[in-house]
Chain A
Amino acid sequence: MLQHYGPQLVNLLAAVLLLLAFAMLSQRRILSLINLFAAQGLVLFLATALVASITGQPHLYWSAGLTLLLKVLLLPWILHRLIRRLNVKWDVETLLNIPTTMLVGIVLVILAFNLAAPISQLAGTVTRSTLGIAMASVLLSFLMMITRSKAVPQVVGFLSMENGLFFAATAAVYGMPMVVELGVALDVLVASLILGVFLFQIRERFDSVDTRHLEKLKEH
Chain B
Amino acid sequence: MNLAGAAAQFTELMLAVLLAPLLTGWVNQCRAWLQNKSAPGLLQPYRVLAKLFQKEVVLAHNASPLFRAAPYLVFGCLALAAAIVPSLSTGLPLNAAADAIALVGLLALARFFIALAGMDVGTAFGTLGARREMMVGFLAEPALLMVLFTASLISHSSSLSTIVEALGHREFVIYPSMAFAGVAFTMVSLAENARIPVDNPATHLELTMIHEAMVLEYSGRHLAMVEWAASLKLFVYSCMGLALFFPFGIAQGGDWPGIVLALPVLLAKLAAGGAALALIEMVSAKMRIFRAPEFLGTAFLLAVLAMLVHVLLEG
Contacts and interface: CB of A to CB of B under 8 A. Distances in A.
Interface of A: 5, 8-9, 11-12, 14-16, 18-19, 22, 26, 98-99, 102-103, 105-106, 109-110, 113, 117, 129-130, 132-133
B293 interface: yes
A132 B174 contact: no
A26 B173 CA distance: 30
**Residue from the set A102, A117, A130 with the largest chain B CB neighbour count within 10 Å:** A102
11 contacts: A5-B174, A18-B305, A18-B309, A19-B179, A19-B302, A19-B305, A99-B293, A99-B301, A113-B308, A132-B312, A133-B309
B297 A16 contact: no
Contact of B298 (A16, A26, A113, A130): A26
Given A99-B293, A109-B308, A15 B313 contact: yes
B159 interface: no
A110 B311 CA distance: 11
Contact of B183 (A19, A98, A109): A19
Is chain B's binding surface mostly helix, strand, loop or mixed?
A: helix
Contacts of A99: 293-294, 297-298, 301
Contacts of A19: 179-180, 183, 302, 305
B158 interface: no
B106 to A, nearest CB: 28
Contacts of B293: 99
B177 interface: yes
A171 B312 CA distance: 14
B184 to A, nearest CB: 10
Contact of A15 (B173, B177, B297, B301): B177
Interface in B257-315: 293-294, 297-298, 301-302, 304-305, 308-309, 311-314
